[in-house]
Chain A
Amino acid sequence: MNKKCALLFSGGTDSTCAAAVLAKEDFREIHLLTFFEEGTKGSPMPLGNAEKLRAHFPHTTWHHRAISTDKIVRHLAYENYFRNLLSHGTFLLAMPGFSTLSWHIAAIAYCKKEGITVVGDGLTRELMHFPGHMDAVIRVFSGLYEAFGIRYVQPVRDWEVPPDRQFLDRLLIDHHLSADTPPTARTTGNYLYRLGIFSEPNVKGTATDRRMQHDCYPFVLFNIFVFWLWLPLLGYKRYERGIVSLFERKTNLALVLLKNHFAAPDNSKLNSILKC
Protein backbone atom coordinates (compact mmCIF):
# COMPACT_ATOMS: atom_id res chain seq x y z
CA MET A 1 0.00 0.00 0.00
CA ASN A 2 1.28 3.45 -0.91
CA LYS A 3 1.26 5.21 2.47
CA LYS A 4 1.23 8.94 1.93
CA CYS A 5 1.00 12.01 4.10
CA ALA A 6 1.37 15.78 3.99
CA LEU A 7 3.63 17.81 6.27
CA LEU A 8 3.47 21.50 7.18
CA PHE A 9 7.04 22.34 6.20
CA SER A 10 8.88 25.57 6.98
CA GLY A 11 12.25 23.93 6.28
CA GLY A 12 13.47 24.62 9.82
CA THR A 13 14.96 22.04 12.16
CA ASP A 14 11.68 20.78 13.64
CA SER A 15 9.71 20.33 10.42
CA THR A 16 12.71 18.77 8.65
CA CYS A 17 13.06 16.35 11.55
CA ALA A 18 9.33 15.57 11.46
CA ALA A 19 9.70 14.81 7.73
CA ALA A 20 12.59 12.45 8.47
CA VAL A 21 10.60 10.69 11.23
CA LEU A 22 7.61 10.23 8.90
CA ALA A 23 9.89 8.89 6.15
CA LYS A 24 11.30 6.37 8.65
CA GLU A 25 7.74 5.42 9.61
CA ASP A 26 7.32 3.98 6.11
CA PHE A 27 5.41 6.80 4.49
CA ARG A 28 6.36 6.23 0.85
CA GLU A 29 4.98 9.54 -0.45
CA ILE A 30 5.38 12.78 1.52
CA HIS A 31 3.98 16.12 0.41
CA LEU A 32 5.91 19.02 1.97
CA LEU A 33 3.62 22.05 2.14
CA THR A 34 5.24 25.47 2.60
CA PHE A 35 2.83 28.34 3.13
CA PHE A 36 3.58 31.96 2.41
CA GLU A 37 1.75 35.25 2.96
CA GLU A 38 2.31 39.02 2.95
CA GLY A 39 4.18 38.88 6.28
CA THR A 40 6.71 36.32 5.00
CA LYS A 41 7.23 37.59 1.46
CA GLY A 42 10.94 38.38 1.98
CA SER A 43 11.68 34.96 3.42
CA PRO A 44 13.40 32.21 1.38
CA MET A 45 11.63 29.05 0.13
CA PRO A 46 13.15 26.12 2.01
CA LEU A 47 14.53 24.23 -0.98
CA GLY A 48 17.83 23.16 0.63
CA ASN A 49 16.43 20.89 3.32
CA ALA A 50 13.82 19.46 0.95
CA GLU A 51 16.72 18.42 -1.32
CA LYS A 52 18.62 16.92 1.63
CA LEU A 53 15.55 14.86 2.57
CA ARG A 54 15.23 13.66 -1.04
CA ALA A 55 18.87 12.62 -1.08
CA HIS A 56 18.71 10.90 2.31
CA PHE A 57 15.45 9.02 1.72
CA PRO A 58 15.59 8.05 -1.97
CA HIS A 59 12.85 5.40 -1.57
CA THR A 60 10.35 8.03 -0.50
CA THR A 61 8.63 10.14 -3.15
CA TRP A 62 8.85 13.78 -2.12
CA HIS A 63 6.61 16.56 -3.41
CA HIS A 64 7.28 20.13 -2.33
CA ARG A 65 4.47 22.69 -2.79
CA ALA A 66 4.41 26.41 -1.99
CA ILE A 67 0.89 27.64 -1.24
CA SER A 68 -0.23 31.21 -0.61
CA THR A 69 -2.52 31.62 2.42
CA ASP A 70 -2.48 35.42 2.37
CA LYS A 71 -6.19 35.88 1.64
CA ILE A 72 -7.17 33.26 4.21
CA VAL A 73 -5.16 35.02 6.94
CA ARG A 74 -6.78 38.33 6.05
CA HIS A 75 -10.25 36.78 6.06
CA LEU A 76 -9.71 35.09 9.44
CA ALA A 77 -8.37 38.28 11.00
CA TYR A 78 -10.97 40.71 9.67
CA GLU A 79 -14.31 38.91 9.10
CA ASN A 80 -17.02 40.31 11.41
CA TYR A 81 -14.29 42.51 12.83
CA PHE A 82 -16.24 44.74 15.21
CA ARG A 83 -18.48 41.96 16.54
CA ASN A 84 -15.40 39.80 17.18
CA LEU A 85 -13.64 42.77 18.77
CA LEU A 86 -16.50 43.04 21.27
CA SER A 87 -16.37 39.31 22.03
CA HIS A 88 -12.61 38.71 22.06
CA GLY A 89 -11.08 42.15 22.60
CA THR A 90 -7.44 42.65 21.78
CA PHE A 91 -6.87 38.90 21.30
CA LEU A 92 -7.96 39.62 17.73
CA LEU A 93 -4.33 40.69 17.29
CA ALA A 94 -3.15 37.08 17.61
CA MET A 95 -2.05 37.14 13.97
CA PRO A 96 0.44 34.21 14.23
CA GLY A 97 -2.53 32.05 15.27
CA PHE A 98 -4.56 33.12 12.21
CA SER A 99 -1.53 32.34 10.13
CA THR A 100 -1.36 28.82 11.62
CA LEU A 101 -5.09 28.22 11.15
CA SER A 102 -4.77 29.34 7.51
CA TRP A 103 -2.09 26.64 6.97
CA HIS A 104 -4.46 24.02 8.34
CA ILE A 105 -7.33 25.19 6.11
CA ALA A 106 -5.10 25.11 3.03
CA ALA A 107 -3.63 21.74 4.08
CA ILE A 108 -7.12 20.20 4.41
CA ALA A 109 -8.14 21.54 0.97
CA TYR A 110 -4.90 20.13 -0.50
CA CYS A 111 -5.23 16.73 1.22
CA LYS A 112 -8.83 16.23 0.11
CA LYS A 113 -7.73 16.93 -3.47
CA GLU A 114 -4.78 14.52 -3.24
CA GLY A 115 -6.53 11.79 -1.22
CA ILE A 116 -4.22 12.20 1.79
CA THR A 117 -5.49 11.19 5.25
CA VAL A 118 -2.53 12.08 7.49
CA VAL A 119 -1.10 15.56 8.07
CA GLY A 120 2.07 16.03 10.11
CA ASP A 121 3.50 19.07 11.84
CA GLY A 122 6.94 19.72 13.35
CA LEU A 123 5.57 21.26 16.55
CA THR A 124 7.66 20.90 19.71
CA ARG A 125 7.01 22.44 23.13
CA GLU A 126 8.88 25.65 22.35
CA LEU A 127 7.09 29.03 22.15
CA MET A 128 4.08 27.81 24.11
CA HIS A 129 2.56 31.31 24.13
CA PHE A 130 1.82 30.97 20.39
CA PRO A 131 -1.82 30.00 19.80
CA GLY A 132 -0.91 27.17 17.43
CA HIS A 133 1.48 25.67 20.00
CA MET A 134 -1.02 25.45 22.89
CA ASP A 135 -2.33 21.95 23.68
CA ALA A 136 -5.93 23.16 23.88
CA VAL A 137 -5.73 24.89 20.49
CA ILE A 138 -4.05 21.84 18.93
CA ARG A 139 -7.03 19.76 20.13
CA VAL A 140 -9.37 22.22 18.40
CA PHE A 141 -7.34 22.00 15.16
CA SER A 142 -7.25 18.18 15.43
CA GLY A 143 -11.07 18.25 15.58
CA LEU A 144 -11.13 20.28 12.36
CA TYR A 145 -8.99 17.67 10.60
CA GLU A 146 -11.11 14.82 12.00
CA ALA A 147 -14.25 16.42 10.54
CA PHE A 148 -12.71 15.75 7.11
CA GLY A 149 -11.38 12.26 7.89
CA ILE A 150 -7.78 13.44 8.29
CA ARG A 151 -5.48 12.56 11.19
CA TYR A 152 -3.30 15.42 12.47
CA VAL A 153 -0.03 14.18 13.99
CA GLN A 154 2.91 15.91 15.66
CA PRO A 155 5.70 13.30 15.68
CA VAL A 156 8.26 15.44 17.57
CA ARG A 157 5.88 17.23 19.94
CA ASP A 158 7.34 15.79 23.16
CA TRP A 159 10.98 15.72 22.18
CA GLU A 160 13.46 17.69 24.25
CA VAL A 161 14.11 21.28 23.20
CA PRO A 162 17.65 22.71 23.08
CA PRO A 163 18.66 25.33 25.66
CA ASP A 164 17.38 28.77 24.71
CA ARG A 165 20.00 31.15 23.41
CA GLN A 166 19.88 34.86 23.84
CA PHE A 167 19.58 36.90 20.65
CA LEU A 168 23.13 38.21 20.89
CA ASP A 169 24.52 34.68 21.19
CA ARG A 170 22.66 33.77 18.04
CA LEU A 171 24.28 36.56 16.09
CA LEU A 172 27.73 35.35 17.06
CA ILE A 173 27.25 31.63 17.31
CA ASP A 174 28.04 30.67 13.71
CA HIS A 175 31.63 31.75 13.96
CA HIS A 176 32.68 31.79 17.55
CA LEU A 177 30.70 29.47 19.79
CA SER A 178 30.52 25.71 19.77
CA ALA A 179 27.23 23.80 19.88
CA ASP A 180 25.78 23.61 23.37
CA THR A 181 23.26 20.76 23.03
CA PRO A 182 24.40 17.59 24.82
CA PRO A 183 25.09 15.05 22.04
CA THR A 184 22.82 12.43 23.63
CA ALA A 185 19.71 14.65 24.03
CA ARG A 186 16.68 13.62 21.97
CA THR A 187 16.28 16.90 20.16
CA THR A 188 15.22 17.44 16.56
CA GLY A 189 18.64 18.98 15.75
CA ASN A 190 20.54 16.02 17.24
CA TYR A 191 18.36 13.58 15.32
CA LEU A 192 19.13 15.26 11.99
CA TYR A 193 22.80 15.57 12.95
CA ARG A 194 23.04 11.85 13.70
CA LEU A 195 21.31 11.04 10.39
CA GLY A 196 23.91 13.18 8.61
CA ILE A 197 21.32 15.62 7.27
CA PHE A 198 22.62 18.52 9.41
CA SER A 199 26.29 19.36 9.96
CA GLU A 200 25.64 20.63 13.50
CA PRO A 201 23.29 19.46 16.27
CA ASN A 202 21.76 22.89 16.93
CA VAL A 203 21.45 25.59 14.29
CA LYS A 204 18.30 27.18 15.70
CA GLY A 205 18.40 30.96 15.66
CA THR A 206 21.60 31.15 13.61
CA ALA A 207 22.16 32.76 10.22
CA THR A 208 22.17 29.24 8.71
CA ASP A 209 18.72 28.68 10.20
CA ARG A 210 17.41 31.92 8.73
CA ARG A 211 18.74 30.99 5.28
CA MET A 212 17.23 27.50 5.24
CA GLN A 213 13.82 28.29 6.76
CA HIS A 214 10.70 30.08 5.57
CA ASP A 215 9.64 32.48 8.34
CA CYS A 216 6.32 32.42 10.09
CA TYR A 217 4.34 35.67 10.58
CA PRO A 218 6.61 38.46 11.99
CA PHE A 219 5.92 37.92 15.67
CA VAL A 220 7.89 40.59 17.57
CA LEU A 221 4.81 42.81 17.85
CA PHE A 222 2.72 39.83 18.97
CA ASN A 223 5.38 39.00 21.60
CA ILE A 224 5.16 42.59 22.88
CA PHE A 225 1.38 42.16 23.33
CA VAL A 226 1.83 38.80 25.07
CA PHE A 227 4.71 39.60 27.42
CA TRP A 228 4.08 43.29 28.08
CA LEU A 229 0.28 43.42 28.07
CA TRP A 230 -1.72 40.19 28.26
CA LEU A 231 0.44 38.12 30.64
CA PRO A 232 1.10 40.92 33.18
CA LEU A 233 -2.60 41.89 33.22
CA LEU A 234 -4.25 38.47 32.91
CA GLY A 235 -1.75 35.75 33.80
CA TYR A 236 -1.17 32.68 31.62
CA LYS A 237 -4.38 30.76 32.42
CA ARG A 238 -6.72 33.62 31.48
CA TYR A 239 -4.59 34.46 28.45
CA GLU A 240 -4.81 30.84 27.30
CA ARG A 241 -8.58 30.71 27.90
CA GLY A 242 -9.08 33.87 25.82
CA ILE A 243 -6.96 32.55 22.95
CA VAL A 244 -8.67 29.14 22.98
CA SER A 245 -12.10 30.77 22.90
CA LEU A 246 -11.09 32.92 19.90
CA PHE A 247 -9.66 29.95 18.00
CA GLU A 248 -12.70 27.77 18.74
CA ARG A 249 -14.79 30.41 17.01
CA LYS A 250 -12.40 30.84 14.08
CA THR A 251 -12.06 27.07 13.66
CA ASN A 252 -15.87 26.78 13.47
CA LEU A 253 -15.74 29.40 10.72
CA ALA A 254 -13.04 27.36 8.96
CA LEU A 255 -15.22 24.24 9.24
CA VAL A 256 -18.13 25.99 7.53
CA LEU A 257 -15.87 27.45 4.81
CA LEU A 258 -14.35 24.05 4.08
CA LYS A 259 -17.70 22.19 4.11
CA ASN A 260 -19.20 24.69 1.67
CA HIS A 261 -16.07 24.44 -0.44
CA PHE A 262 -16.27 20.64 -0.74
CA ALA A 263 -20.05 20.78 -1.34
CA ALA A 264 -19.78 23.24 -4.23
CA PRO A 265 -16.11 23.90 -5.01
CA ASP A 266 -16.62 26.29 -7.92
CA ASN A 267 -18.93 28.69 -6.11
CA SER A 268 -17.56 28.51 -2.57
CA LYS A 269 -16.22 31.51 -0.70
CA LEU A 270 -13.07 29.55 0.16
CA ASN A 271 -12.46 28.86 -3.51
CA SER A 272 -12.25 32.58 -4.19
CA ILE A 273 -10.05 33.03 -1.11
CA LEU A 274 -7.76 30.16 -2.13
CA LYS A 275 -7.33 31.57 -5.64
CA CYS A 276 -4.37 33.80 -4.97
Chain B
Amino acid sequence: MRPTHATPVRTSLRILLAACLCILTLLLPYRARVAFAMGTAWLVHLPYVLFGKLADAILKKSEQSHE
Protein backbone atom coordinates (compact mmCIF):
# COMPACT_ATOMS: atom_id res chain seq x y z
CA MET B 1 0.00 0.00 0.00
CA ARG B 2 1.45 3.36 -1.01
CA PRO B 3 2.20 5.66 1.98
CA THR B 4 0.33 8.96 2.09
CA HIS B 5 1.79 12.25 3.34
CA ALA B 6 -1.41 14.10 4.22
CA THR B 7 -1.42 16.67 7.03
CA PRO B 8 -3.76 16.07 10.02
CA VAL B 9 -6.12 18.83 8.81
CA ARG B 10 -6.24 17.38 5.32
CA THR B 11 -6.80 13.90 6.70
CA SER B 12 -9.65 15.15 8.92
CA LEU B 13 -11.30 16.94 6.01
CA ARG B 14 -11.01 13.84 3.87
CA ILE B 15 -12.54 11.68 6.61
CA LEU B 16 -15.41 14.14 6.99
CA LEU B 17 -16.11 14.29 3.26
CA ALA B 18 -15.81 10.51 2.87
CA ALA B 19 -18.14 9.97 5.87
CA CYS B 20 -20.78 12.24 4.29
CA LEU B 21 -20.52 10.39 0.96
CA CYS B 22 -20.63 7.11 2.85
CA ILE B 23 -23.89 7.93 4.69
CA LEU B 24 -25.49 9.17 1.49
CA THR B 25 -24.44 6.04 -0.41
CA LEU B 26 -25.76 3.75 2.33
CA LEU B 27 -29.21 5.30 1.92
CA LEU B 28 -29.40 4.84 -1.84
CA PRO B 29 -31.15 1.94 -3.59
CA TYR B 30 -29.16 -0.13 -6.08
CA ARG B 31 -29.61 1.78 -9.35
CA ALA B 32 -29.16 5.16 -7.67
CA ARG B 33 -26.05 3.87 -5.89
CA VAL B 34 -24.52 2.73 -9.18
CA ALA B 35 -25.42 6.04 -10.84
CA PHE B 36 -23.89 7.93 -7.91
CA ALA B 37 -20.67 5.85 -8.14
CA MET B 38 -20.47 6.52 -11.89
CA GLY B 39 -21.19 10.22 -11.45
CA THR B 40 -18.53 10.55 -8.75
CA ALA B 41 -15.97 8.77 -10.96
CA TRP B 42 -16.81 11.10 -13.85
CA LEU B 43 -16.47 14.22 -11.66
CA VAL B 44 -13.18 13.10 -10.09
CA HIS B 45 -11.68 12.31 -13.49
CA LEU B 46 -13.00 15.40 -15.28
CA PRO B 47 -10.24 17.92 -14.37
CA TYR B 48 -7.54 15.37 -15.15
CA VAL B 49 -9.12 14.45 -18.47
CA LEU B 50 -9.44 18.11 -19.45
CA PHE B 51 -5.87 18.87 -18.38
CA GLY B 52 -4.66 15.75 -20.20
CA LYS B 53 -6.41 16.80 -23.40
CA LEU B 54 -4.92 20.29 -23.15
CA ALA B 55 -1.40 18.94 -22.51
CA ASP B 56 -1.82 16.45 -25.36
CA ALA B 57 -2.79 19.22 -27.77
CA ILE B 58 0.16 21.37 -26.65
CA LEU B 59 2.60 18.48 -27.10
CA LYS B 60 1.23 17.71 -30.55
CA LYS B 61 1.61 21.36 -31.59
CA SER B 62 5.13 21.43 -30.21
CA GLU B 63 6.04 18.21 -32.08
CA GLN B 64 4.64 19.68 -35.30
CA SER B 65 6.64 22.87 -34.88
CA HIS B 66 9.86 20.83 -34.40
CA GLU B 67 9.30 18.91 -37.67
A interface residues, Cβ below 8 angstroms from B: 38-39, 73-74, 77-78, 85, 90, 92-93, 95, 128-129, 164, 167-168, 171-172, 175-176, 217-222, 224-225, 227-229, 231-233, 236
Closest A residue, CB atoms, query B59: A176
A55 to B11, alpha carbons, bound, how many Å? Answer: 51
A93 to B44, alpha carbons, bound, how many Å? Answer: 19
Most-contacted residue by chain A among B1, B22, B34, B45 (CB, 10 A): B34
Smallest CB separation, A262 vs chain B (Å): 27
Say yes or no: B49 contacts A229, CB within 8 Å: no
Most-contacted residue by chain B among A74, A85, A92, A164 (CB, 10 A): A74
A176 surroundings in chain B (CB, below 8 A): 56, 59
Across the A-B interface, the 8 shortest Cβ-Cβ residue pairs: A171-B52, A228-B18, A220-B41, A229-B18, A228-B14, A221-B37, A74-B30, A218-B37
A85 to B25, alpha carbons, bound, how many Å? Answer: 13
Say yes or no: A228 contacts B37, CB within 8 Å: no
Chain B facing A: main interface SS: helix
Interface range, B side: 20 to 34
A-B pairs with beta carbons under 8 Å apart, 11 shown? A77-B30, A90-B22, A168-B48, A171-B55, A172-B55, A175-B59, A217-B37, A220-B37, A221-B21, A231-B1, A232-B11
Q: A220-B41, A227-B4 are in contact. Are A233 and B15 (CB under 8 A)?
A: yes
Chain B positions 22 through 48: 1 when the CB is less than 8 Å from some CB of chain A, otherwise 0: 100110011101101110110011001
A74 to B15, alpha carbons, bound, how many Å? Answer: 27
B14 surroundings in chain A (CB, below 8 A): 228-229, 232
Q: A90-B26, A92-B26, A129-B1 are in contact. Are A229 and B15 (CB under 8 A)?
A: yes
A231 surroundings in chain B (CB, below 8 A): 1
Say yes or no: B51 contacts A229, CB within 8 Å: no
Say yes or no: A175 contacts B56, CB within 8 Å: yes
Chain A facing B: main interface SS: helix
A16 to B11, alpha carbons, bound, how many Å? Answer: 38
A90 to B38, alpha carbons, bound, how many Å? Answer: 19
A129 to B15, alpha carbons, bound, how many Å? Answer: 18
A-B contact count (CB 8 A): 89
Say yes or no: A85 contacts B34, CB within 8 Å: no
Say yes or no: A85 contacts B26, CB within 8 Å: yes
Closest B residue, CB atoms, query A236: B1
Closest A residue, CB atoms, query B40: A221
Say yes or no: B26 contacts A171, CB within 8 Å: no
Say yes or no: A39 contacts B38, CB within 8 Å: yes
Q: A38-B34, A39-B34, A229-B18 are in contact. Are A175 and B1 (CB under 8 A)?
A: no
A227 to B49, alpha carbons, bound, how many Å? Answer: 22
4 further contact pairs, Cβ within 8 A, besides A39-B37, A175-B60, A232-B15:
A171-B51, A171-B55, A218-B38, A229-B22
Is B17 engaged at the interface, CB distance under 8 Å to the other chain? yes
Q: A93-B25, A228-B18, A229-B19 are in contact. Are A221 and B41 (CB under 8 A)?
A: yes
A92 to B22, alpha carbons, bound, how many Å? Answer: 10
Smallest CB separation, A57 vs chain B (Å): 35
Closest B residue, CB atoms, query A226: B18
Say yes or no: A168 contacts B55, CB within 8 Å: yes
